[in-house]
Amino acid sequence: MAMSWHMMVEFEPPLVACIVSSADHSFAAMRATRECVIAIPALKLAPQVVQVGNSSGRSIDKFETFGLTPVPAHRVTPPLVAECFANLECKVADTRFVKKYNLFILEVLKAWTDPAQKKPKTIHHHGFGTFVVDGETIKLISKMR
């Protein structure tokens, strides 16, 4: 699935909140299996991200249809996406907000990065086919690890 909204909510343990439409095939899969992989694409995959988001896994194999490569994960059943610069293996940690908001809390069990993709530009969905591409990185002094 192409996920429109997600955010970090805790660092230890690493927790991610995400919204998944109850109409999506992925919603039913996450409720049933209580696991997923968040695959984070770089800018070069933007056209495929839109195609994935505009189709349903109920009727097609998105990996085959859009030329993506599934890679076995270590801690969960869903595969990683080889073309993505990062993949997060997740288990559903909290479903208290699913019924009201379609909001899942996921615990990241294992994180993968592709060392060949150095400083990838990420895309951020703003809705209705509009994306923002990340820009300049700044580093500030922080007491956080």
- Residue 144: per-residue pLDDT: 74
Give the span between the Cα atoms of 102 and 1, in whole angstroms. Answer: 15
Sorting pLDDT into bands at 50, 70 and 90, what band is 129?
Answer: confident
The answer on pLDDT for 145 being more than 80 is no
Sorting pLDDT into bands at 50, 70 and 90, what band is 95?
Answer: very high
Domains and CATH numbers, the chain: 5-133 (2.30.110.10)
Give the span between the Cα atoms of 85 and 71, in whole angstroms. Answer: 13
The pLDDT of 41-57, averaged and rounded, is 91
Q: Is 21 helix (H, G, I), strand (E, B) or coil?
A: coil
Q: Is 9 helix (H, G, I), strand (E, B) or coil?
A: strand
Predicted confidence (pLDDT) per residue in 64-82, tens digit: 999 999 999 999 999 999 9
* Exposed / middle / buried, residue 91 (Cβ in 10 Å: 0-12, 13-18, 19+): middle
